[in-house]
């Protein structure tokens, strides 16, 4: 009969075995924890209804015609004012994510406008990298060249003094504007969705949120 120790000949004591495994356990738990946090952050960041600005009054909009508009646009969303649903979109031709998203968002907005012309307005604001860094003509030329490349031309505005971007950033709780940024404002003048940056499902989310707001409006 062998002694109890003979079956474990050459093996380290149990305490050492546990100590040897502990670094692996630590790293495994750390990886799972970090992965879970990243997943939650990404999920929340791509959920437009989770943004802190949702439920707040929308920003004052003061923009000038850049392409296809005859007059400036001045809108001060006010609760209970029964305004059209507004999709306010800030973008720039110099911004790769903006260029990637724009054709899709423009097509979606045009389709919604055809179905709900009186109740929906797409406010597309073509922006320079920083306020005043481009002249009106250079901004217009760059925007038209981009439209020619992607085969569209839709009514487009500019924000030459940055007033609308400042107002939007304040509503979003930001010190500055990231691009692209899209804000959905319902007929009561409240923010119902915010998209900061580009995501593959973003435009589908916008369409669903717009249709929901139009059903309520």
Q: Are residues 21 and 69 in the same domain?
A: no
Is pLDDT of 108 > 70? Answer: yes
The verdict on 36 and 65 lying in the same domain is no
Please say if the pLDDT value at position 214 is more than 80: yes
In 3D, which of 137, 45, 148, 157 has the Cα closest to residue 92? Answer: 157
Domain check: are 36 and 56 in the same one?
A: no
Confidence (pTM): 0.77
pLDDT tens across 55-94, in order? 999 999 999 999 997 789 999 876 556 689 999 999 999 9
Residues 34 and 140 in one domain: no
Band (124; pLDDT cuts 50, 70, 90): very high
Whether residue 174 is predicted with pLDDT greater than 70 in this model: the reply is: yes
Q: Which helix (H) or strand (E) holds 96?
A: helix 96-115
154 vs 26, more confident: 154
Indicate the Cα dihedral angle 62, 159, 209, 187, nearest 10°.
Answer: 10
Specify whether 72 is located in the same domain as 157.
Answer: yes
Percent of the chain with pLDDT over 90: 64
Split into its structural domains, the chain has a count of 2
- The answer to whether residue 1 scores a pLDDT higher than 60 is no
**Quick one: residue 149, left, alpha or beta (phi over 0 = left, psi -120 to 50 = alpha)?**
alpha
Q: Are residues 38 and 124 in the same domain?
A: no
Question: Are 85 and 132 found together in one domain?
Answer: yes
Give the pLDDT confidence score for residue 73 in this predicted structure: 93
Indicate if 20 and 80 belong to the same structural domain.
Answer: no
* CATH at residue 141: 3.40.30.10
Dihedral in degrees, nearest 10, Cα atoms 172, 174, 176, 178: -60
Closest CA to 181 of 91, 49, 48, 105: 91
Final residue before a domain boundary, out of 28, 45, 62: 45
- The answer on pLDDT for 191 being more than 80 is yes
Name the residue range of residue 79's domain: 49-216
In whole angstroms, how far apart are CA 210 and each of 17, 84, 214?
59, 11, 6
Sign of dihedral through CA atoms 8, 9, 10, 13? positive
Same domain, 23 and 94: no
Which tens digit of pLDDT belongs to each residue from 147-169?
Answer: 999 999 899 999 999 999 999 99
Please list the alpha-helical segments (H only) found in the chain: 14-45, 96-115, 136-150, 163-172, 202-216
Q: Pick the residue with more confidence: 119 or 44?
A: 119
Residues 39 and 101 in one domain: no
Q: Do residues 182 and 88 share a domain? A: yes
Query: Which of 86, 114, 99, 67 is CA-nearest to residue 210?
Result: 86
- For the ranges 25-39, 107-121, 128-142, 155-169, the lowest mean pLDDT is seen at 25-39
Same domain, 59 and 138: yes
CA distance 17 to 12: 6
Strands (E), 114-213: 120-126, 156-158, 181-185, 191-196
At 169, list the tokens.
């950033």
How many residues are recorded in the chain?
217
What pLDDT, on the 0 to 100 scale, is given for residue 31? 46
């Amino acid at each position: 009969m062998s002694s109890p120790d003979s079956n474990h000949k050459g093996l380290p004591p149990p305490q050492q075995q546990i100590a040897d495994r502990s670094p692996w356990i630590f790293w495994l738990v750390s990886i799972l924890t970090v992965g879970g946090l990243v997943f939650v952050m990404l999920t929340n960041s791509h959920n437009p209804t989770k943004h802190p600005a949702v439920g707040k009054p929308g920003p004052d909009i003061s923009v000038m015609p850049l392409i296809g508009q005859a007059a400036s646009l001045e809108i001060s969303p006010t609760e209970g004012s029964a305004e059209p649903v507004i999709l306010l979109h800030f973008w720039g031709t110099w911004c790769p994510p903006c260029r990637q998203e724009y054709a899709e968002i423009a097509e979606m907005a045009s389709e919604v406008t055809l179905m709900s012309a009186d109740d929906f307005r797409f406010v597309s604001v073509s922006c320079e990298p920083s306020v005043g860094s481009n002249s009106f003509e250079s901004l217009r030329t760059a925007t038209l060249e981009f439209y020619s490349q992607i085969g569209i031309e839709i009514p487009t505005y500019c924000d030459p003094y940055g007033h609308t971007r400042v107002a939007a950033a304040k509503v979003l709780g930001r010190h500055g504007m990231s691009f692209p940024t899209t804000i959905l404002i319902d007929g009561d003048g409240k923010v119902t969705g915010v998209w900061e940056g580009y995501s593959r499902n973003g435009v589908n989310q916008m369409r669903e949120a717009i249709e929901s707001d139009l059903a309520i409006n």
